[in-house]
Structure 1
Amino acid sequence: MENKHTFAICAYKESSFLEECIKSLKNQSIESEIFIITSTPNSYIDRTAEKYGIPVYVNTGEAGIVQDWNFAYKKAQTEFVTITHQDDVYFEKYAEHVVREFEKSSKPLIFFTDYAEMRNGEKVTDNRLLRIKRLLLLPLKVKVFRKSRFVRRRILSLGSPICCPSVAFAKKNLPETVFKPGFASDEDWEAWEYISRFKGEFIYDKEILVGHRIHEESETSKILGNNARNKEDYTMFCKFWPKPIAKILARWYAESEKSNELS
């Protein structure tokens, strides 16, 4: 059977977690296409890719997280694609759920799942931040709300509870470019806000199917460390709220995201 789903791994420099990520993709219950894209080609990425028989594509255009994500998105030739983060792991049934849920939907836009945090080798399934995100996503457990632009925009107006590495895209129902340059940390939130305007379904799978790694070298941890994220949060809240309310929400959001830091 022809594969309908692709894992497009975005590799950067020499991540010690890349091989673990690849193993999790190879161990899925159904087979997907897998390739690596990078704008920082090196022998480590090449050796790791060769070991697992995975092609590598080099983004020779403008470098950056958003640019790499868009390059990976365009390279995928299947109906469905997951922009795979090199540090994260995907549990055995992830791809199976992607294909099953997309095929059941009349017009899917994105699929995403609940997730666990991977901290110092431990799988964390419950903490304050995870509980808040699950609470925000609660309405999308009701299937009738999957098509509601009002509901998903109200959810996004309070932050971005969608786990970025867990997102799969139904390419036929989306534009050729879904990420916009300009943000360093909220590029995913901006993409969900953009996609939320389209007719179609936001499919939320309540099963924990992704392990999102929190570690000192992650881009999110670096950004949170120098508080660069707060200005971007404010900009995003302004897409939904008057400026005075957006300022209050941005301060609250910064406090809630502190659990992303390693202590």
Structure 2
Amino acid sequence: MKPHAFAICAYKDSPYLETCIRSLKNQSRKSDIILCTSTPSPYIENLAEKYDIPLFVRDGASGIGEDWNFAYHMADARFVTIAHQDDIYQKDYVKTLLECYEKYPDMTLFTGGYAVIKGNKPVFFEKVEFIKRFLRLPLRFRGLSHLSWIKKSVLIFGNSICCPACAYNKEQLGEPLFASSYRFALDWDALFNLAERPGRFICVEKPVLFYRVHDGAATKACIKDNSRAKEEAHMFSKIWPGPVVRIIMHFYRKAYEEYTS
């Protein structure tokens, strides 16, 4: 089994897909790359051919959970990163991941911080990521990061873990990875379930990728149609009593307004 693979999920004809591919090709530690889609097109096929990347097409209607599970399934490696087509990965992402695994062989999840790009320009201070970094503090105690309560503690006030930054230990976690019916909070739900299983969550508190915020992103769409608020409230209800959920969601809705502004 190869140590790591990127499985890019391509949806329709994203103008950012090629930039994402280049960032994966330019890794300081080379890794397998595959391209997966449920919306095949000449644009995607041409990029796969241009960069000599295997292309896998999933039959059936597009769905985030189904598409992510398909990409995870098609990647033949110990660790799999489901790469989001809009994002740009730092050149030492794979190198850092494998160094962490060498030090912590029980690592089931690797992740890290991120920097934001808005309008093709980096944002040097992003309030939401600053708060998420604070919420991830328990994972800095790596000697304890195998404990379920430590892993869950970074998820009880929201999902502080950046989904595209994650690499999952497929060898230990098996399949399917995402079993939720959620459209937005499926990664949070999956991480909460993984926190109950044996294995260590390792987080590198430095930006391992550039996370792109733009009008066509699924995150903005989920805010506008209110599905994000409904799903996050449902997740919080699994953790907290109703009055606490209402207080938390009050502040979350204010954050949505800032995100879409």
Same fold (TM over 0.5): yes
User: Is 2:4 aligned against 1:5?
Assistant: yes
CA distance in 2, matches of 1:37, 1:217: 19
CA distance in 2, matches of 1:102, 1:179: 23
User: Is 2:39 aligned against 1:19?
Assistant: no
CA distance in 2, matches of 1:97, 1:259: 32
Q: Does the CA contact (< 8 Å) of 1:159 and 1:253 recur in 2?
A: no
Q: Cα offset for 1:148?
A: 1.9
Q: Name the residue aligned to 2:178.
A: 179
Change (3 A) 1:32 1:259: farther
Q: Name the residue aligned to 2:202.
A: 203
Q: Does the CA contact (< 8 Å) of 2:7 and 2:83 recur in 1?
A: yes
- Higher mean Cα deviation, 207-216 or 237-246? 237-246
CA distance in 2, matches of 1:238, 1:151: 20
What is the letter of the counterpart of residue 75 of structure 1? M
What is the letter of the counterpart of residue 204 of structure 1? C
SS at 1:240 equivalent: coil
Change (3 A) 1:258 1:203: farther
> What is the TM-score with the length of structure 2 in the denominator?
0.96
Q: Name the residue aligned to 2:233.
A: 234
What is the letter of the counterpart of residue 208 of structure 1? P
1:20-79 deviation per Cα after TM superposition (whole angstroms, max 9, x unaligned):
000000000011000100000000000011110011100114530110100011111111
SS at 1:84 equivalent: strand
Q: Cα offset for 1:239?
A: 1.5
Q: Cα offset for 1:247?
A: 2.4
SS at 2:70 equivalent: helix
What is the letter of the counterpart of residue 80 of structure 1? F
1:183-210 deviation per Cα after TM superposition (whole angstroms, max 9, x unaligned):
1111111111111111110100112111
SS at 1:205 equivalent: strand
User: Is 2:102 aligned against 1:103?
Assistant: yes
Q: Cα offset for 1:157?
A: 0.8
SS at 1:203 equivalent: strand
CA distance in 1, matches of 2:233, 2:68: 23
Aligned length: 261
Q: Name the residue aligned to 1:260.
A: 259
User: Is 2:207 aligned against 1:191?
Assistant: no
Q: Name the residue aligned to 2:142.
A: 143
What is the letter of the counterpart of residue 64 of structure 1? G
Residue identity over aligned pairs, in percent, reads 38
CA distance in 2, matches of 1:125, 1:144: 31
Q: Name the residue aligned to 1:124.
A: 123
SS at 1:79 equivalent: strand
Residues 28-47 of structure 1: matches in 2 within 5 Å?
28-47=27-46
Q: Cα offset for 1:165?
A: 0.4
SS at 2:209 equivalent: strand
SS at 1:179 equivalent: coil
Change (3 A) 1:61 1:103: farther
What RMSD, in angstroms, separates the aligned Cα atoms of the two structures? Answer: 1.4
CA distance in 1, matches of 2:24, 2:126: 26
Q: Does the CA contact (< 8 Å) of 2:116 and 2:126 recur in 1?
A: no
What is the letter of the counterpart of residue 96 of structure 2? H
1:137-196 deviation per Cα after TM superposition (whole angstroms, max 9, x unaligned):
112112123112112212211000101100001112213111124111111111111111
Q: Does the CA contact (< 8 Å) of 2:80 and 2:167 recur in 1?
A: yes
User: Is 2:43 aligned against 1:58?
Assistant: no
Q: Does the CA contact (< 8 Å) of 2:86 and 2:212 recur in 1?
A: yes
Q: Does the CA contact (< 8 Å) of 2:138 and 2:153 recur in 1?
A: no
What is the letter of the counterpart of residue 158 of structure 1? F
Q: Does the CA contact (< 8 Å) of 1:80 and 1:171 recur in 2?
A: yes
CA distance in 1, matches of 2:246, 2:178: 24
Change (3 A) 1:89 1:29: same
User: Is 2:76 aligned against 1:82?
Assistant: no
SS at 1:139 equivalent: helix
Q: Unpaired segments of 5 or more residues in structure 2?
A: none
